[in-house]
Amino acid sequence: FPIDITFKSTNPFGWPQIVLSVYGPDFFGHDVVRGYGAVHVPFVPGRHKRTIAMFVPESSSRLQQLTSWFTGRRPEFTDPKVVAQGEGREVTRVRSQGFVTVSFNVM
């Protein structure tokens, strides 16, 4: 999807990121999260290709996993800042869930 954005800054600290939330149907046809990932937007002009490692939050117990599988309500983040910052994520149980490749054309 083309995105046209203009940024101006004297300091690239906290440079903008693209946060991805990928959803898809499960076995029962419920729309569930398939993965989250984030990548910093490159600020050097040119074509850039980034591979983003995706991850999915997991329930903390077997009973919660079984219940979420039957109800179709799997754990997911309500705030995209959790994915972008990473702060507080060290206590969240997640599972690796593949990769997404993003291509940037920066001018």
| Per-residue pLDDT tens over the stretch 58-87 | 877 788 777 777 776 777 787 777 787 767
Distance CA 67, CA 70 (A): 5
Distance CA 6, CA 28 (A): 42
pTM for the full predicted model: 0.75
10 Å Cβ neighbour count for 12?
A: 11
| Per-residue pLDDT tens over the stretch 22-32 | 888 877 787 88
